[in-house]
Amino acid sequence: MRRPKKYEAGEATQYISRRAALRKLQLSLNDFRRLCILKGVYPREPKHRRRAQKGSSEIKILYHTKDIRFLLHEPIVWTLRDYKIFAKKSGRDRAIKDFRNLKRRLALFPEIKLDHIVKERYPTFIDALKDLDDCLTLLFLFSTFPSLHLIPREQSNLCRRLTIEFLHYVIASKSLRKVFISIKGYYFQAEIKGQKVTWIVPHYYPFKPQSRQEVDFKVMSIFVEFYTIMLGFTNYRLYHGLNLAYPPQFPSSMLQDNEETLKDETSFVSERIAALNFELLRTDKVQEDEEEPDIDMELLEQDGDSKRIIKMKQEAQEIARLRNLFKGLKFFINREVPREPLVIIIRSFGGKVSWDSSVFSGSTYDESDETITHQIVDRPSLSTQYISRDYIQPQWVFDCVNQRQLLPTNKYFLGEELPPHLSPFVDAKRDTYVPPEEKALHDPSLIETHAQSDDESDEEEAAQNEDDTVDQELLDAQLQRAYQQETAEYKKYGGPDGVNEDEEDTDDDFDGEQESDEEEEELDEKTKRLQEEKKKMSVQSGKVHKVNKRQLHKAEVDEHRLQARMVKPRHRNLFRKLIREKQSKEKEEWLLRKKRRNIDNDTKEAKKLVKREAKKAAAAAAAAASQLGVK
Amino acid sequence: MAAQEPATKRKRISKKNKAAWRKIDIEDVEQFLEDQRQEERIGTFTDKQDEDLFVVDTSPQKPAPSQLTIKQKRKLNALKPMRSHQALVNTSKVQDPIVKRNHVRQKKSGRNIELEVCNPTKPRHRQANADRGLYYEKLDKELAVRESGKKLPKIDKDIWQEEDFRDKIPGLKDEKGWISRDLALHVAGNIGRKVVKTHASLHHKTTKAKKFEAPHPGMSYNPSLKAHQELLAEVVEREESLIKKEQHLKRVTTTMFSKVTPEERDKRRLEEMSEGIKEDGEPESEDEVEVDPKSADNSYSTVNAPVENKKKSKAARNKELKQKKLQRQHEAKKALKKQTADLIRIKSIRAEVQEEAEELKDLKKRRKAAAERKKYETKRLGRHKFEEPDLDVNMPEDLAGNLRNVKTESNLLTDRFKLLQKRNMLPTTVAVKRKRAKVKRFPRSSHKEPGVSFQELRDRRKAAAAAAKANSDTIKI
């Protein structure tokens, strides 16, 4: 038998150095790089480098041999080889000034086709969605680039087109969930087909040149080349899922014949599309309302109310509310505010938006429109203001989306110092201890209660009373709106307390009130009559449902025991560990809360003491004064 | 014709014997006589009427058989079935019981010359010209499209729709299930539409780290105080560790060596380089004096002392052996003693063993944890190690608190590039500046300024360079 030689088997054959791969594929280094990026073949780190490199210990770039063999089958390898031939031949033509031939060759430039690679790398659509983060961020970034060396203008134009198309989808599907303004740029998170897709849009500043020392532009350009194709196909599928026409078009009713449209229709349309302010042409005639979530919830109800299902229900409710967060609101964006992110947010939550027509084409109404409810302003003061609308800073829109409710606008008024902009990516409901200050930031209602409970604040309140009345009114409006939404949801999902028809009637009244303030007076008599009717209706006093705490606790313990018994023996350790972790976390939280309570008490005591001292001193002083007076 | 001549030539035969006479061909004579006899019987043809003798030939005249050249004949022959195949020809008179047979058409090999000759196509050049015209027409259209910039990737299908490769290739789709999938794969490969399977390792993740890392809440444009402080603390910590590392490196390398002034250094260098070279001032005679007496002896001498062959005596060897034996005995005794002692402290030994086992277990655990940790880390793909980029942070004085005055801190492109490197998609590289070839520059003699010589210029340049060098070389002490 032949004695096996060294490095004939095992790790040495599993890996192949880049140089060897080049030789095997008969490509130049640049072509190889391109091929690898397009095909998603990346270098690997071996377990034992010396063995993988056949004895040499310098650090080489290694690939899996299997990967390289897989590349051998790729048809675009031939195209890459054709490039070389093309370059040689066209160079020759140019040199001998055979321009006819050169022209012919240029027309026959071998194009790379990447469709099959997209399919190959992302076998299912969900796979593609999972990898959309990078793609979107890069394309949004490249769409801001001017034509650079190694980055042709067509590429950045294409990036712009594709990203706009994607944004149209996000708006149409109302899938935006979280937004965040960071110093890097705007973070957006959308939920598409159950996948969370996050992307960053750079701030809207003029292009800053980038040194070539840090970033390899060529490599990034290749990534973008692939991602454009991928996003194109993704958009296609997403649009068809919503019955929208792809590439996006306007319904013909939108296009009226005027000077602008007649001059250059294509550019007119593309500008309007870039404005993101119009609905797109649908392939089906009737616009269907979204019904899918209801059905799901009903199905789930049969499974009983386990914790998870309750949580899911709540989540679904919240999202349903979020999707119509800005419904009925009319925004106007001032010229100093970045238009695009705000338009995306407002439109994807059902609001209407417009801007100054000189800023960007596609504005739908003027600043002088009296029905505008909010004007977004980012300057310290404004000369002409309308009474009918709120002048708010852009952060309000972002914070509303993150809190999933309409926040009181008073803190975001024009020229006001803004409350901190919190990251939505940090879970506010996390298990760890959250100090009351942070809690208040997430839930502004807590602040008021906290302030009211304080002893000292009474006096301050009296002073601030006048200011508060304004806030209170605003808050009332908010609460009313929130109440409406909730009742609407209960109608949809069937809340814990069944809603009877009477309440629905009142809802309608509320709606009427909101829609038209002028009509209110006319309808006054009607409402009075209704109220009288309501008084006549009998209401039986409800019984308070008594909860047996002991029984409840017992049931809980029993359930826990049962859960512990159900755990498979091999998972027992894990279960115990989880329980222990939970307990320790709870304990920690309890400790911190206790500590906080102690500190609060101490400070209170100290304050009280100081006050008492002061009172005493005052009393003493008064006594002394009176004595003096007596004397 | 030339081939027929030899056949008509008269053969010469010997007529020596009587028997040989028979060999003479008398047929012509016999024929003549026979003809005469016949004439006598039926009369000569001069007596007969013309009508009896001649018949008017109403049938169309047959063309003379064409005189074919050998080449033509060969071609014709080539069309005939081959001799070797004659045996295969069915000569049976029995009728074929199968009324309709499938015709098996033979594949043609090569060009069918005759067919081409019979129906000639257009002249080649005419055809080629027409084709070229069509081609350029198409080309111009394509170029026009390209110039207008509308050449965009064609996206007009849903690539994620489930589709079978068998649908595309006719004949492979069979409802009856006669063609197995393997066979279909094989056929597809041979047709030129190979179905390539991607192997699973291509989709394996190389790192367990999360794809999306949430931004630190302190990176908000208007962060809460706590979050911002946290972020700042993180940045400071990182910076401190960097400084510490740098200091360590400095301590271990630069400060380890003593420092000298440039003058001192130059002096030392001169000394070192001129080691062993006689100085001008010193007399050469000193060396010569030392060397002279040895050379005068003329006898061979070495620096090292001569090797001696020291032999141990027998007694010494015996003594050594004895010592060794004693040593061994002593050791054995000691070991025995230890064993007995160990019996007493068996409990503590057990504890020791247990401790050792525990230690090993611990080590194993730690190794496992390290391996697990490594799964989340960036792999070493190339020569350079990946280093985490700096955190983006706004300094407190830069925080504007409104969107209008946000100070952007990061570069998204760099950020993405680093992220790709972090996720093992790109090897970490360091951009290398291309070195420029050293070009010696000097003024052309034709452009020489009056009064300034080349020598002078060179001197000036050298002086400037020396000054610059002296500046750069100063080292602080």
- The pLDDT tens digits for A344-386 are 999 999 999 999 988 888 888 998 988 999 999 998 888 888 9
Task: State the residue range of the domain holding B176.
Answer: 162-196
- Look at residues A361, A392, A425 and tell me which one is the last residue of a structural domain: A425
Quick check: A393 contacting B, CB < 8 Å? yes
In the prediction, which pLDDT does A497 show?
Answer: 45
Judgement on whether residues A261 and A312 belong to the same structural domain of the protein: no
Higher pLDDT residue, B308 or A524?
Answer: B308
Judgement on whether residues B373 and B389 belong to the same structural domain of the protein: no
- Mean pLDDT of all residues in B245-259: 90
> Which residue stretches of B65-172 are H helix?
70-79, 113-118, 124-147, 165-168
In the prediction, which pLDDT does B8 show?
Answer: 61
Cα within 13 Å of Cα(A282), Cβ side: 11
In the prediction, which pLDDT does B477 show?
Answer: 47
Of the pLDDT bands very low, low, confident and very high (cuts 50, 70, 90), residue A487 is low
Kindly identify which residue of chain A lies nearest to residue B156, measuring between CA atoms.
A236
CA dihedral sign, ordered B208, B211, B213, B214 = negative
Looking at the complex, report in whole angstroms how far the Cα of residue A583 sits from the nearest Cα belonging to chain B: 24
What is the C-alpha separation between B219 and B393, in angstroms, rounded?
6
Of the pLDDT bands very low, low, confident and very high (cuts 50, 70, 90), residue A447 is very low
Asked if A380 contacts A391 with a C-beta cutoff of 8 angstroms, the reply is: no
What is the C-alpha separation between A137 and A224, in angstroms, rounded?
10
Higher pLDDT residue, A310 or B379?
Answer: B379
Are the Cβ atoms of B201 and A103 closer than 8 angstroms? no
In the prediction, which pLDDT does A482 show?
Answer: 67
CA dihedral sign, ordered A580, A583, A589, A592 = negative
Task: Write the Ramachandran bin of A458: left for phi over 0, alpha for psi from -120 to 50, otherwise beta.
Answer: alpha
What is the C-alpha separation between A413 and A415, in angstroms, rounded?
6
What is the C-alpha separation between A448 and B310, in angstroms, rounded?
105
Counting Cβ atoms within 10 Å, is residue A508 exposed (0-12), middle (13-18) or buried (19+)? exposed
Residue B126 is assigned to a structural domain of this protein:
no
Asked if B425 contacts B381 with a C-beta cutoff of 8 angstroms, the reply is: no
Q: Which of B164, B165, B162 shows the shortest CA–CA distance to B189?
A: B165
What is the C-alpha separation between A121 and A39, in angstroms, rounded?
7
Q: What are phi and psi of A109, to 5 degrees?
A: -55, 125
Q: Which of B405, B406, B216 shows the shortest CA–CA distance to A423?
A: B216
Looking at the complex, report in whole angstroms how far the Cα of residue A222 sits from the nearest Cα belonging to chain B: 12
Asked if B403 contacts A338 with a C-beta cutoff of 8 angstroms, the reply is: yes
Residue B29 is assigned to a structural domain of this protein:
no
Of the pLDDT bands very low, low, confident and very high (cuts 50, 70, 90), residue A448 is very low
Judgement on whether residues A305 and A401 belong to the same structural domain of the protein: yes
Residue B179 is assigned to a structural domain of this protein:
yes
What is the C-alpha separation between B250 and B236, in angstroms, rounded?
21
pLDDT-wise least confident of A122-131, B186-195, B461-470: B186-195
Residue A326 is assigned to a structural domain of this protein:
yes
Predicted TM-score (pTM) of the model is 0.66
Asked if B407 contacts B400 with a C-beta cutoff of 8 angstroms, the reply is: yes
Q: In sequence order, what are the residues at sequence separation of 6 or more whose Cβ sits closer than 8 angstroms to the Cβ of residue B189?
A: B195
Task: State the residue range of the domain holding A237.
Answer: 115-206+216-275
- Look at residues A74, A107, A140 and tell me which one is the last residue of a structural domain: A107
Chain B residues touching A378 at Cβ < 8 A: 402-404
Residue A64 is assigned to a structural domain of this protein:
yes
Q: Which of A537, A476, A525 shows the shortest CA–CA distance to A501?
A: A537
DSSP 8-class letter at A44: B
Judgement on whether residues A164 and A132 belong to the same structural domain of the protein: yes
**What proportion of chain B, given as a percentage, has pLDDT over 90?**
30
* Site from B139, B148, B378, B381 to mutate, A interface, most A CB atoms within 10 angstroms: B381
The count of structural domains within chain A is 3
Judgement on whether residues A405 and A304 belong to the same structural domain of the protein: yes
Across the interface, which of A66, A235, A336 has its CB nearest the CB of B199?
A66
Judgement on whether residues B367 and B391 belong to the same structural domain of the protein: no
Asked if A337 contacts A377 with a C-beta cutoff of 8 angstroms, the reply is: yes
Judgement on whether residues A142 and A233 belong to the same structural domain of the protein: yes
What is the C-alpha separation between B325 and B319, in angstroms, rounded?
10
In the prediction, which pLDDT does B432 show?
Answer: 80
Looking at the complex, report in whole angstroms how far the Cα of residue A164 sits from the nearest Cα belonging to chain B: 16
Are the Cβ atoms of A41 and B220 closer than 8 angstroms? no
Are the Cβ atoms of B199 and A425 closer than 8 angstroms? no
Name A186's bridge partners.
A181, A201
Is a pLDDT exceeding 60 seen at residue B285? Answer: no
In the prediction, which pLDDT does A376 show?
Answer: 93
pLDDT-wise least confident of A452-466, A517-531, B82-96, B199-213: A452-466
Residue B398 is assigned to a structural domain of this protein:
yes
For residue range B19-38, what is the model confidence (pLDDT) as tens digits?
777 777 789 999 999 999 99
Which own/partner contact pairs does A406-413 have at CB distance under 8 Å and 24+ positions apart?
A406/A325, A406/A478, A406/A481, A406/A482, A407/A444, A407/A478, A408/A444, A408/A471, A408/A474, A408/A475, A408/A478, A409/A374, A409/A474, A410/A470, A410/A471, A410/A474
Touching B: A residues 224-253, CB under 8 Å: 228-229, 232-233, 235-237, 240, 246
Of the pLDDT bands very low, low, confident and very high (cuts 50, 70, 90), residue A38 is very high
Chain A residues touching B202 at Cβ < 8 A: 40-41, 67, 70, 121
Of the pLDDT bands very low, low, confident and very high (cuts 50, 70, 90), residue A476 is low
Judgement on whether residues A150 and A168 belong to the same structural domain of the protein: yes
Is a pLDDT exceeding 80 seen at residue B5? Answer: no
* Total count of residues recorded for chain B: 477
For residue range A374-433, what is the model confidence (pLDDT) as tens digits?
999 998 888 888 988 999 999 999 999 998 889 999 889 988 889 999 999 887 666 666
Judgement on whether residues B389 and B372 belong to the same structural domain of the protein: no
Provide the 3-class DSSP secondary structure of residue A17.
strand
Kindly identify which residue of chain B lies nearest to residue A40, measuring between CA atoms.
B202
Is a pLDDT exceeding 60 seen at residue A451? Answer: no
Judgement on whether residues B373 and B397 belong to the same structural domain of the protein: no
Are the Cβ atoms of B410 and A124 closer than 8 angstroms? no
Is a pLDDT exceeding 50 seen at residue A249? Answer: yes
Is a pLDDT exceeding 80 seen at residue A467? Answer: no
Provide the mean pLDDT of chain B.
83
Residue A484 is assigned to a structural domain of this protein:
no
Across the interface, which of A125, A184, A196 has its CB nearest the CB of B392?
A184
Q: Which of A346, A293, A298 shows the shortest CA–CA distance to A320?
A: A293
Quick check: B421 contacting A, CB < 8 Å? no
Higher pLDDT residue, B394 or B16?
Answer: B394
Residue A629 is assigned to a structural domain of this protein:
no
> Which residue stretches of A276-405 are H helix?
292-301, 307-323, 339-348, 395-403
Q: What are phi and psi of A188, to 5 degrees?
A: -125, 140
Judgement on whether residues A124 and A34 belong to the same structural domain of the protein: no
Across the interface, which of B196, B215, B413 has its CB nearest the CB of A182?
B215
Are the Cβ atoms of B223 and A394 closer than 8 angstroms? no
Kindly identify which residue of chain B lies nearest to residue A105, measuring between CA atoms.
B139
Asked if A436 contacts A450 with a C-beta cutoff of 8 angstroms, the reply is: yes
For residue range A171-184, what is the model confidence (pLDDT) as tens digits?
999 999 999 999 99
In the prediction, which pLDDT does A287 show?
Answer: 57
Touching A: B residues 280-319, CB under 8 Å: none
Residue B183 is assigned to a structural domain of this protein:
yes
- Look at residues A393, A425, A457 and tell me which one is the last residue of a structural domain: A425
In the prediction, which pLDDT does B360 show?
Answer: 97
In the prediction, which pLDDT does B301 show?
Answer: 74
Are the Cβ atoms of B401 and A417 closer than 8 angstroms? yes
Judgement on whether residues A302 and A407 belong to the same structural domain of the protein: yes
Judgement on whether residues A346 and A372 belong to the same structural domain of the protein: yes
Quick check: A213 contacting B, CB < 8 Å? yes
Task: Report the side by side order of strands in the sheet with A352-355.
Answer: A352-355, A330-333, A374-376, A390-392
Rounded CA Rg of chain A: 33
Across the interface, which of A183, A213, A228 has its CB nearest the CB of B408?
A183
DSSP 8-class letter at A540: P
Looking at the complex, report in whole angstroms how far the Cα of residue B331 sits from the nearest Cα belonging to chain A: 44
Quick check: A50 contacting B, CB < 8 Å? no
Q: Give the number of other CB atoms < 10 A from CB of residue A151.
A: 18
Residue A20 is assigned to a structural domain of this protein:
yes
Provide the 3-class DSSP secondary structure of residue A201.
strand
Are the Cβ atoms of A138 and B403 closer than 8 angstroms? no
- Mean pLDDT of all residues in A520-541: 71
**What proportion of chain A, given as a percentage, has pLDDT over 70?**
79
What is the C-alpha separation between B411 and B428, in angstroms, rounded?
18
In the prediction, which pLDDT does A299 show?
Answer: 59
* Site from A182, A270, A376 to mutate, B interface, most B CB atoms within 10 angstroms: A182
Touching B: A residues 433-492, CB under 8 Å: 437-438, 441
Looking at the complex, report in whole angstroms how far the Cα of residue B224 sits from the nearest Cα belonging to chain A: 5
Judgement on whether residues A125 and A241 belong to the same structural domain of the protein: yes
In the prediction, which pLDDT does A17 show?
Answer: 95
Q: Which helix (H) or strand (E) holds A221?
A: helix A217-241
Are the Cβ atoms of A45 and B160 closer than 8 angstroms? no
Chain A residues touching B392 at Cβ < 8 A: 183-184
Provide the 3-class DSSP secondary structure of residue A42.
coil
- Mean pLDDT of all residues in B80-96: 85
DSSP 8-class letter at A23: H
Asked if A235 contacts A172 with a C-beta cutoff of 8 angstroms, the reply is: no
* Tokens (6 digits) for B407: 């100070």
Judgement on whether residues A239 and A119 belong to the same structural domain of the protein: yes
ipTM confidence score? 0.71
Counting Cβ atoms within 10 Å, is residue A371 exposed (0-12), middle (13-18) or buried (19+)? exposed
Q: What is the DSSP string of B162-203?
A: ---HHHHSTTT--TT--S-HHHHHHHHHHHT---PPPPGGGG
In the prediction, which pLDDT does A384 show?
Answer: 86
Provide the 3-class DSSP secondary structure of residue A600.
helix
Provide the mean pLDDT of chain A.
82
The count of structural domains within chain B is 3
Is a pLDDT exceeding 50 seen at residue A504? Answer: no
Quick check: A210 contacting B, CB < 8 Å? yes
* Tokens (6 digits) for A145: 């680039």
Chain B residues touching A241 at Cβ < 8 A: none
In the prediction, which pLDDT does A200 show?
Answer: 95
Residue A239 is assigned to a structural domain of this protein:
yes
Residue B372 is assigned to a structural domain of this protein:
yes
Q: What is the DSSP string of B212-272?
A: SPPPPGGGBSS--HHHHHHHHHHHHHHHHHHHHHHHHHHHHTGGGS----HHHHHHHHHHH
Residue A569 is assigned to a structural domain of this protein:
no
* Tokens (6 digits) for B357: 């086992």
In the prediction, which pLDDT does B95 show?
Answer: 84
Is a pLDDT exceeding 70 seen at residue A627? Answer: yes
Q: Which of A441, A398, A412, A394 shows the shortest CA–CA distance to A187?
A: A398
* Total count of residues recorded for chain A: 631
**What's the CATH code of the domain at A315?**
3.40.50.10190
CA dihedral sign, ordered A605, A611, A615, A621 = positive
Q: In sequence order, what are the residues at sequence separation of 6 or more whose Cβ sits closer than 8 angstroms to the Cβ of residue B23?
A: B13, B15
In the prediction, which pLDDT does B201 show?
Answer: 79
Amino acid in the structure at residue B400: A
Looking at the complex, report in whole angstroms how far the Cα of residue B426 sits from the nearest Cα belonging to chain A: 7
Higher pLDDT residue, A31 or B441?
Answer: A31
Of the pLDDT bands very low, low, confident and very high (cuts 50, 70, 90), residue A208 is confident
CB pairs under 8 A between A and B: 201
Judgement on whether residues B393 and B369 belong to the same structural domain of the protein: no
Of the pLDDT bands very low, low, confident and very high (cuts 50, 70, 90), residue A92 is very high
Looking at the complex, report in whole angstroms how far the Cα of residue A238 sits from the nearest Cα belonging to chain B: 10
Residue B414 is assigned to a structural domain of this protein:
yes
Higher pLDDT residue, A217 or B152?
Answer: A217
Asked if A400 contacts A357 with a C-beta cutoff of 8 angstroms, the reply is: no
Looking at the complex, report in whole angstroms how far the Cα of residue B372 sits from the nearest Cα belonging to chain A: 14
Higher pLDDT residue, B156 or B369?
Answer: B369
Judgement on whether residues A161 and A192 belong to the same structural domain of the protein: yes
Chain A residues touching B221 at Cβ < 8 A: 181-183, 421
Looking at the complex, report in whole angstroms how far the Cα of residue B254 sits from the nearest Cα belonging to chain A: 27
What is the C-alpha separation between A390 and A157, in angstroms, rounded?
37
Across the interface, which of B199, B219, B379 has its CB nearest the CB of A183?
B219
In the prediction, which pLDDT does A302 show?
Answer: 57
For residue range A295-322, what is the model confidence (pLDDT) as tens digits?
555 555 555 567 788 888 888 888 888 8
| Helix then strand then coil, % of chain B, to nearest 5 | 55, 0, 45
* Tokens (6 digits) for B166: 């068998």
Angle between the N-to-C axes of helices A132-142 and A217-241, in degrees from 0 to 180, rounded to the nearest 10: 110
